[in-house]
A and B are shown apart, each in its own frame.
Chain A
Amino acid sequence: MTLSVRSLLAGAAAGALLLSGAAEAQEKHKIFLSMSYIGNDWQAEAANMVKAMAAHPSLADKVDLQVQVSGPNAQRQIQQINAMVQSGANAIVVFPISPTALNQVVKNACDKGVVVFAYDAEITEPCAYNVHIDQEEAGRVTAEWLVEKLGGKGDIVAVTGVPGTSVDDLRTKAAKEVFAKHPDIHIVAEAVGMWSQAVARTELAKITATRNWDEIDGLWMQAGCFTANAMQLEAGKTPEQLLPCAGEGANGGRIQMLPVGTEVEGAAIPYAPLGAPRISYASPPYSGGLALKLAVEVLEGKEVPKTTILPLPVVTNDTVKLCQEGTWEEMKAGCNVFQPSLVSNPGWFASIFSAATPEIGLNAALVGQPEG
């Protein structure tokens, strides 16, 4: 096939596939999002926020965003990032499956002038930009809260994340260091929670089969406090008897933190105000959206630090506050939990506010629509 025929055919194919025209593409930054596994709530929410950010009027004319999913397989993400570089990416925003396995391919992308941003998890290759929270801080702060709540004494259950990942390792080790300083705190059972409310439930059911709720004084969980409270109610506990739980930032868990009797729309036990003693932290799903925004800034020549440590979102019973609509303005004023009538999935992650991203609010996280 001669070159001219081929380019003609390629042009026809591109037209047929409704790819953006060549003239337009030159003005826009071609940015790819490489997601890992799309089949869980956090990933989907983060992807929605990236899409909303790209659709915001301030970026819509500048950014041509393509979203691709690699699945949980690092090999495929390597191949995918290569393919993105080959197809002329200006920037790649990536949720890295592995902090180390992508190093070579990311380095290669950097060498070709592609800006690479990792969100939530980290890429250790120095040329990559990282946007994430301090995982050790997350483990430490939550553990310290639990120790204080228990008065430095008690039997606790720990439910961790995905074993073999850096995030889980950093959080769990930091928490255990805190617990080790208090000889009267005993971890009596430890389960692998995989950062999933569903897994947390089966694991807690296994633990409480051999250990009564009365024999436990507190819970330290990377995800699952909402479920743990629901299970205690099922076991006949009253809201006043709920155990202190240090855990994730699911909307359901934060609704439970509101004092009993708070008026919320669409509440149904256990997704209802219970006055549950909690500290709620999160690895916020807006990190992908922020990474996209920063990537555009880099492409426009601004200085952006290689590592952006996000402030750790922490909500306790003293600071929990209900949002009425969930606009960015309203969240800026301090609300941090949403009406069940708006967010019907209690496992949905509520830490979506960042002072740095006025472009995206509740609608961004729910349906990928930017703020008006």
Chain B
Amino acid sequence: MTVPASIPTRPGWRRHLGRSRGAIIAGAVFLLLLGLVDWVGAGPLTYFDVSFLASGGATLALAAIGQTLVILSGGFDLSAGAVISLVNATLASHMDPMAMDASVPLWTLAGIAIGCAVGAFNGFFIAVLRLQPIVVTLSTMFILQGVTLLVMEKPGGMISPSLGAFYLGDAVPGWLPMPVVVIGVVLLLWAWLKGTRFGTALYATGSDPEAAAAQGLNVTLTRFLTYVIAGGCYGLAGVFISAQTGSGDPLVGNPLLLSLFAAVVVGGTRLGGGQGGPLGTVFGAYVLMMVVNILLVLNVSAYYSTIAEGTILMLAVLAGSLSRDAPLATHLRALRSWASARAAGTLPSALPATDRRLRLPAGSARTATLPSYLSRHAETLRFAIPAYVCLILVVAVTQAWLGAAVFSWNYWNALLVLSSFLAVLALGQGAVILTGGLDLSVPWTIGLSGILLAGIVNGSDAALLYALPFVLILAVIIGLANGIGIVWLGVSPIVMTLATNGVLQGVALLYSQGTPAGFSSPMLRWLMTGKLLGLTPVVLALALFIVLATTLLGRTPFGRRVYGIGNGLRAARISGIPVERTLILVYVLSAVCAALVGVMLTGFSGQASLGMGDDYLLPSIAVVVVGGTLITGGRGHYLGMLGGVLLLTALQMLLAGTTLPYATRAIVYGLVILGAVLALREKRSH
């Protein structure tokens, strides 16, 4: 790569190295793990082993390349796993089981075309209609899961052996496995694409869409094409997994989703866009798959495996941040300069406390009358109201179809009780999202809290008095761990909270030995299932919670700091917001909310079970976004999120009361979410 002579400070190769540091470190971690497997494993690695490893990680790597492009452009794609399932199901159900030598190029193109079509769907809503990527792709995910089940309702079908022979075979027998070539070709295509106008526009859009638009780049087209190309990558991954498995399974791709994000982040690509690239991602994907082999050769016992996995994930990412400008180093330097300032007595707190504020001419500040309520809150209302409008529609349909909604006390009571879990989660997840982060440790914070509470309480109301504080203090510690890892060690929120989730799962398994004991106390059960003045008591508690949550986010310094950070980290820091402390507190808040939900679920079900929090991760994100919160931070209101909670719960209640097949329900669910956010379109003028 040539560098203009006018930048003399760093030679070209060093600049280039610096830019691809993420990829280099991911590659180094990969080689380290490979060496470890080779070293501890039963025998030296043969070509055969390498070939297996290459095919094992290829699906993840191919799909993660697509995800990388989306993230580079500043987006987010939750539909990737669903596309893989759809392609696999479509291929397996449409190939002729008798044709042993189906055309490889034809079916590969078919898979890529399906992916591109889904990408175009995503791209249309995100680039052209300017909806938030996370919620569009979440809807797409639900819709695709439904469509996949319509294509193939259970595992089966047949993939022609010719595909397997091609994709799992050797490019050069004994030297080069085919999966490596496939990934290499995709990377070469990317290298070419990166040099074109589109490549430049992709990075520019991800770094700063407004600046890119000001430079005359077509941001809309760039985003649209990014989703289409990414869809093609998922499609190719779907073709590969079909070749690898030789058959179809409508659920095969769905669990890959979180691994995809982890692969991208481990590979050195920054969430939020503009920095990184697919090469690092490929190494990241293989690092994740190698963990399986590492756990095996080290004979890590089953209950410890999620802990070990989380630790490896964190170490891999931390290894990438050991440099002068890493957050940890920066913090240490800041600490040193703070200490020397303290010694010299030049800290602000050590200076004499005189009033140094500017003297403004008296009376000029507060003469203007406040604008009307509506115009002051127009922005908030515009983003919060669509969820409530859709809620009214769903309730109306429930009334018309099932004949029991509007005039039934029972319906509203059930709606509020079922909403209470997500309403509490929405505060924590919402605050995290407002600062531009994401908390993926919610599921096992819920699970561990519930299991611990049930185990300690064991049916006694008296024990609840100390069990509840214990669980909440534990949640504070979990939140502190998340926050400190993110703020001080500079680990990306997705990786940090994903690793924490794994550790918590391990702790829950070790504590319960796989069989959670104990049950909820009568008081807790009464709170969640009893009756007080015709209402379930938790509904009253929910009302109190809503008031507190709205006040916390809207009327306290903490709340204003959260919005400040979301609107711009640097600006917030310069304005004197204690960014570090606030960020850590946000993760503490999220963990405490999740623990509360664990307690509530234990009361609701009467006992705790492993995995009880698994179903709450994606909904907790969905309700926040449907309620009008901007996923990149800074905009949103708790009452809007509450609208999202009520809408999704009411919709589920409507669907549960019918006998529609699950596939249809998933499609309806996705479409309603998409419809609800259509009203949240960003205006064209920035």
Contact = CB atoms under 8 A, between A and B. Distances in A.
Nearest to B58: A75
Contacts of A41: 514-516, 609-610
A6 B515 contact: no
B215 interface: no
B615 A366 contact: no
Given A41-B610, A44-B514, A206-B657, A98 B252 contact: yes
Given A41-B514, A230-B606, A206 B245 contact: no
B199 interface: no
B662 A98 contact: no
Most chain-B Cβ atoms within 10 A of its Cβ — which of A40, A203, A344? A344
Contact of A17 (B40, B52, B292, B514): B40
A314 interface: no
B302 A86 contact: no
B411 A209 contact: yes
A333 B435 CA distance: 62
B241 to A, nearest CB: 7
Most chain-B Cβ atoms within 10 A of its Cβ — which of A39, A69, A78, A367? A39
Interface in A179-201: 187-192, 194, 196-199, 201
A190 B297 CA distance: 45
A6 B39 contact: yes
A69 B305 contact: yes
Contacts of A40: 609-611
A324 interface: no
Interface stretch (B147-155, B175-183, B184-192, B350-358): B147-155
Contact of A44 (B40, B246, B509): B509
A44 B515 contact: yes
Contacts of A86: 41-42, 49, 52
A191 B656 contact: yes
A100 B405 contact: no
B298 A209 contact: no
A164 B60 contact: no
Nearest to A234: B529
A239 to B, nearest CB: 17
Given A39-B505, A86-B42, A205 B248 contact: no
A190 B255 contact: no
A150 interface: no
B39 A199 contact: no
Interface stretch (B385-393, B413-421, B543-551, B557-565): B413-421
B293 A196 contact: no
Interface stretch (A7-15, A54-62, A138-146, A255-263): A7-15
A281 to B, nearest CB: 20
B347 interface: no
- The B interface is mostly helix, strand or loop, or mixed, namely helix
B247 A101 contact: yes
22 contacts: A38-B303, A39-B505, A39-B508, A47-B302, A67-B302, A68-B295, A68-B296, A69-B302, A79-B56, A86-B52, A101-B241, A101-B247, A104-B164, A160-B662, A164-B148, A166-B155, A166-B156, A190-B658, A198-B609, A209-B415, A209-B657, A271-B519
A367 B514 CA distance: 9
Contacts of A166: 154-156
A356 interface: no
A74 B249 contact: yes
Contacts of B245: 74, 78, 98, 100-104
Contact of A164 (B41, B250, B458): B250
B256 A104 contact: no
Contacts of B255: 71-74
A168 B149 CA distance: 13
Given A101-B252, A344-B519, A39 B154 contact: no
Contacts of A73: 255-256, 259
Contacts of A231: 529
Contact of A210 (B295, B404, B459, B663): B404
Given A9-B39, A206-B653, 9 more contacts: A67-B301, A67-B302, A74-B249, A76-B289, A83-B292, A124-B247, A209-B408, A268-B519, A367-B513
Nearest to A208: B414
Interface string B243-278: 011111111100110010000000000000000000
Contact of B514 (A9, A45, A102, A197): A45
B447 interface: yes
A190 B522 CA distance: 31
A257 to B, nearest CB: 18
B659 interface: yes
Interface string B513-532: 11111110000000001100
Interface stretch (A293-301, A303-311, A345-353): A345-353
Interface of A: 3, 6, 9-10, 13-14, 17, 19, 35, 37-41, 43-45, 47-48, 66-76, 78-80, 82-84, 86-88, 98-104, 124, 160, 162-166, 168-170, 187-192, 194, 196-199, 201-203, 205-212, 227, 230-231, 234, 268, 270-271, 344-348, 366-367
Given A83-B293, A101-B247, A347 B609 contact: yes
Given A164-B153, A189-B656, A189-B658, A84 B296 contact: yes
Nearest to A9: B39
Nearest to A169: B154
B56 A78 contact: yes
B246 A39 contact: no
Given A47-B302, A345-B516, A100 B39 contact: no
A347 B42 CA distance: 41
A13 B56 contact: no
Contacts of A79: 52-53, 56-57, 289, 292-293
B536 to A, nearest CB: 10
B42 A88 contact: yes
Nearest to A201: B605
**A-B pairs, 6 with minimum CB distance:** A44-B514, A209-B414, A100-B247, A206-B656, A79-B56, A169-B154
B11 to A, nearest CB: 34
Given A38-B509, A164-B153, A271-B519, A187 B659 contact: yes
Nearest to A80: B292
A104 B246 contact: yes
A170 B156 CA distance: 13
Most chain-A Cβ atoms within 10 A of its Cβ — which of B59, B656, B659? B656
A227 B605 contact: yes
Interface in B282-313: 289, 292-293, 295-299, 301-303, 305-306
A86 B552 CA distance: 56
A211 B505 contact: no
A221 to B, nearest CB: 14
Contact of A347 (B250, B505, B607): B607
B142 interface: no
B612 interface: yes
B398 interface: yes
Contacts of B60: 75
A368 B254 CA distance: 32
A44 B610 contact: yes
A74 B251 CA distance: 9
B405 A210 contact: yes
A83 B296 contact: yes
Nearest to B48: A86
A371 to B, nearest CB: 18
A69 B305 CA distance: 7
Most chain-A Cβ atoms within 10 A of its Cβ — which of B292, B297, B415? B292
Contacts of A348: 515
Given A82-B52, A166-B155, A211 B652 contact: no
Nearest to A100: B247
A37 B306 CA distance: 11
Contacts of A366: 515
Contact of A39 (B149, B405, B614): B614
A104 B614 contact: no
Nearest to A268: B459
A194 B607 CA distance: 17
B676 interface: no
Most chain-A Cβ atoms within 10 A of its Cβ — which of B39, B249, B517? B249
